[in-house]
Amino acid sequence: MNIFKLLATLAEVDPEAYQRQSARRGMLSRLGQVGRKVAATAVPLGLGALPQQAHAGTQTILDTFTLALTLEQLEQEFYATALERGRQGTLVFPAGTQAVIQQIQGHEQSHVTFFQRQLQRSGAAVPAKPNFDFTGSKNGTKPALFPDVFTSFATFLKVAQLLEDTGVRAYKGQVEVLVADNDVLEAVLQIHAVEARHAAHIRGMRRALGATVRDWVSSEDDIITTAGSTDAVYGGEDATRQMLPGTPVKFFPADTTPVAPGPKPLVRLGEAFDEPITATVAANLAGLFIY
C-alpha cells in the first residue's frame, strides 16, 4: 500500500473516507463507554491534565487522541507557516523542496482532520487549537530556541526533524493504550508509518545540505538539540538493551556482547531499535512551542 498516495487521496477527494473504513465510523463512540467522554475537554495540552493522568496510569484512548491531535496541529501549522513565509520571500526553499513540504503539510492536515472527527464522534468536545510559536520563545517571553526558524532553511529542517522524530516516538509510546482496540490501533499505526517516512525524508533533505545525519535516529547524527529542552526528543535512543518485562529473558541482547561483527556494533544495535516516549515527554516537547 502506498500510504502517501492514500492520505493525499483521502485529503483531496473524500475526507469522510477515513470514517467509512471498516468499523472505524463508531470506534470512538464505543470508546466513550470505556473511557471518560470528557477526556478531551480536560486536556488542553498547554501541559495540564494529560501528563498527570498518563503518569498515574489512567490514560484513555481519548487522551491519546487528544495528544495526537495537538502534535498533528503543531506539525501542520509549522509547515503551513513555512510555506507562507516562502510565498512572502522570507524563507527560501531550494529547488524541488517546496513541493515536498507542501505534500507533508497536506498529510498533517489529513491527520488533524481524522483526529478532530473521531473526537467529535466520541461525544467529546474537540479542544481549541493552541497558539504556536516555533521560535520557542513563548511569544517573546523567553529567549528563542530557534530565532531564525523561518528565515534559514537549514534551521527550518532542524526543527522539522525534531518535530517529526517526536511524533514518531510519541505514537510508538501510545501503543499500550491503543492495543485494546484493533480498529483504533490500525488507524494510528498507519499514521505512525507516514510520520516515520516524513522524518526519514526530512533527514535526507538535511543530509543533502551537508549535515551529518542518517535516515534513522543515530548517536552519530549531528547534535541539533539544546540541553534541558529539546534534548528530550532523543533521550534514551542510544539504548542497546531492550526490556522484556514478564518474560524469563529480561533484556535483549541477554548480555553486553555485541551481537554482530563490524565497526561500532553497539551503535548499530542502538540504531536498530527505535524507542518510544511517554505522553508526558511528548506533551512537554510540544509545550516548548505552545504559549
- At 239 the pLDDT is 75
Antiparallel, parallel or unpaired: β 251-252 and 242-243: antiparallel
Minimum mean pLDDT range among 100-109, 118-127, 149-158 = 118-127
Q: Could you report the per-residue pLDDT of 42-97, keeping only the tens digit for each?
A: 333 333 333 333 343 578 999 999 999 999 999 999 999 999 999 999 999 999 99
* 231-236: average pLDDT: 94
One-letter amino acid of 124 = A
Rg of the chain over all Cα atoms, to the nearest angstrom:
19
DSSP-derived secondary structure letter, 97: H
Whether the bond between 248 and the residue before it is cis, its omega within 30 degrees of 0, is no
| 69 closest CA partner among 196, 161, 167 | 167
Length of the chain: 291
Lowest mean pLDDT among 3-7, 45-49, 121-125: 45-49
CA distance 146 to 31: 39
Q: What is the pLDDT of residue 121?
A: 93
What is d(CA 269, CA 152) in angstroms, rounded to the nearest whole number?
34
Mean pLDDT over all residues of the chain? 81
Q: Which three cell numbers stand for residue 131?
A: 497558539
pLDDT band at 256 (very low <50, low <70, confident <90, very high): low
What 3-state DSSP class applies to 104? Answer: helix
Find out whether 63 and 39 touch, Cβ atoms under 8 Å. yes
Report the 10 Å Cβ neighbour count for 208: 12
Provide the whole-model pTM. 0.77
For the CA atoms of 47, 66, 178, 251, what is the dihedral angle to 10 degrees?
-30
